[in-house]
Structure 1
Amino acid sequence: MTEWTADRIPDQHGRTAVVTGANSGLGLVTATALARHGAHVVLAVRNTAAGRQAARRIGGNVEVRELDLASLASVRAFAATLTVDHPVLDLLVNNAGAVLLGPRRTSPDGFELHLATNLLGHFALTGLLLGNLAAARAARVVSLSSVTHRNAHLDFADLMGERGYRAAAAYGRSKLATTIFGVALDRRLRAAGSPVLSTLAHPGITRTNLTPRAWENRGRRGRVIAWLGLLATQSVERGALPQLRAATDPGVRGGQFFGPSRLFQTWGPVTEVRCSREAADPAVGRRLWTAAQELTGVSYL
């Protein structure tokens, strides 16, 4: 089969896309590719000055809007204006993420910062924009996972990592939670008869990606993957291909998960991959969904 590249993105004219964390790295590459294929792209960024600089680099039909995913007030403010200005939304790429080192940090809402940014902010954003997505003919939500989700485990008695905190483990848990969310969202959309698709992707290890640090302290296998990953890193342009395929390939089905195909999925051509057993467990999905609704105050499906 021919390798999937950005040249295979179909015409995006007439489509509106929101890409979170679009001012650098994977988000910038994703937004650029969508805009160059004709989409109107909303760069949802925490730093609007950096966002404006990115918009100048991209050119085309783009706009910059402020969004701090770690703040539920910011998420609500962003969604309130976007839902009015763009009543029909074709694509939401939940790309932004936090990879932190050092001591435990919390969001303005008091949540552990990895979980707040990587899961809860995107959970709330997706729910608040779901009506706009449902108004489109073939809308998609893309959730960005990580290879680190496979070695992680959620402790529902300590979701905020208050006991024995380690930054690398907290990152892995947040990416497991994001993966669980993407899978659970697919199930709920199907059950509701929604036209919206939920897809997932992960970038492997790219040269703008701090994922190798998330493998530190993960035992011998984790250290081996980290060192191999440093040698096998791929360009950010290649790292963005899984999420671009999840976002645009006409043949994609809800619930599909895309990532690199080689060396523990750290690099290589895009292929369909599997999530961990815990991420695929419907009972875990229901439990996390309930927790996310309670924590964010946003309920849907």
Structure 2
Amino acid sequence: MSTSWTQQDIPDQRGRTAVITGANTGLGFETARMLAERGASVVLAVRNVEKGRQAAARISGDVTVQALDLTSLESVRSAAAELRATHPRIDLLINNAGVMHTPRQTTADGFELQFGTNHLGHFALTGLLLDRLLPVPGSRVVTVSSTGHRIQAAIHFDDLQWERSYSRVGAYGQAKLANLMFTYELQRRLAQHGTTIAVAAHPGVANTELARSIPAAIRGPLNLLAPLLTQKPEMGALPTLRAATDPAVIGGQYYGPGGRREIRGYPELVSSSPESHDQATQQRLWTVSEELTGVTFPLT
């Protein structure tokens, strides 16, 4: 008898509302599709509303689209206000959207693009929506990290925005490490409330549009090897879905593919780097994130 966790293991989601960032393509789309098929009311929170509508039309179930540009705190605040107005309760907030290995760019607020999008945008969105989750039994915040959190990864408090020098890989590693540190610190703060939990996941190496910013000289050979090194988006979405729906999940856990080096495979409980568990750094990152975004969480 197989013990692999698959789409068939997703419990009935009727009556639950899920907000998923970056849900018009790739992992986010597959996450939204599978949750909707299990009965959830799903909100595709996306930068391009037209692409979001096209994605929604391909999903069977209760699916709506919300404009959200994580590179703009003004957009994050506007989206949160609209979601609060239309959704008195949220069961799942899935922080999925992200960019990877981009040339150095800045967000509308002057943050380095990868750190601003992958971490700060989601930090702000979570803080602004959290009071819609806190009263809901079984509610969860799931944040998507990456095995990249181990590669050239540190929180560079002396140069968070990479203004002195820039590394595509290092900036991505910092952002994905921040995703995990945010999850662990959020869980510690949520623990006293007894309802909402924070969980992290990573997709392994999934064949999605996320790799579009990798330099062409590298991307070409990678495309040739993709069938051997990657898994399809529907498989890459399973760790997120398990983190979001498996009744056995507890706060502060991290799920990823169970295969060799967590590249491919069915979702299992995995471990993250020793650096990700440094509580002093987690707390310092939290404080800095509050200062940069102007968002504080409704938690004592």
Where on the TM-score scale, by shorter chain, does this alignment land: which range? over 0.9
Counterpart position of 2:55: 54
Counterpart position of 1:220: none
Structure-to-structure mapping, 1:73-222, within 5 angstroms = 73-102=74-103, 104-151=104-151, 152-190=153-191, 192-208=192-208, 210=210
2:93 is matched by which residue type in structure 1? L
Q: Are the counterparts in 2 of residues 257 and 272 from structure 1 also a CA contact under 8 Å?
A: yes
1-structure distance, mates of 2:159, 2:239 = 31
How far apart are residue 147 of structure 1 and its match? 0.2
Counterpart position of 1:35: 36
Structure 1 unaligned regions, length at least 5: 217-224
> Residue 245 of structure 2 is aligned with which of 239, 245, 248?
248
Structure 2 unaligned regions, length at least 5: 217-221
Size of the aligned set, in residue pairs, is 291
2-structure distance, mates of 1:118, 1:6 = 26
Partner of 2:166, secondary structure, is coil
Question: Over aligned residues, Cα RMSD in angstroms?
Answer: 2.0
1-structure distance, mates of 2:252, 2:214 = 25
1:276 is matched by which residue type in structure 2? S
2-structure distance, mates of 1:285, 1:229 = 35
Deviations 1:4-60 (A, max 9, x none): 001100000000000000000000000000000000000000000000000000031
1:65 is matched by which residue type in structure 2? Q
Does 2:263 match 1:266?
Answer: yes
2-structure distance, mates of 1:59, 1:200 = 27
Partner of 2:109, secondary structure, is coil
Partner of 1:199, secondary structure, is strand
Percentage of identical aligned residues? 52
Residue 95 to residue 235, structure 1, CA distance change in 2 (3 Å): same
How far apart are residue 169 of structure 1 and its match? 1.5
Partner of 1:264, secondary structure, is helix
Partner of 1:83, secondary structure, is helix
Residue 45 to residue 28, structure 1, CA distance change in 2 (3 Å): same
Q: TM-score, normalised to structure 2's length?
A: 0.92
Runs of 4+ in 1 over 3 A off after TM superposition: 209-216, 225-230
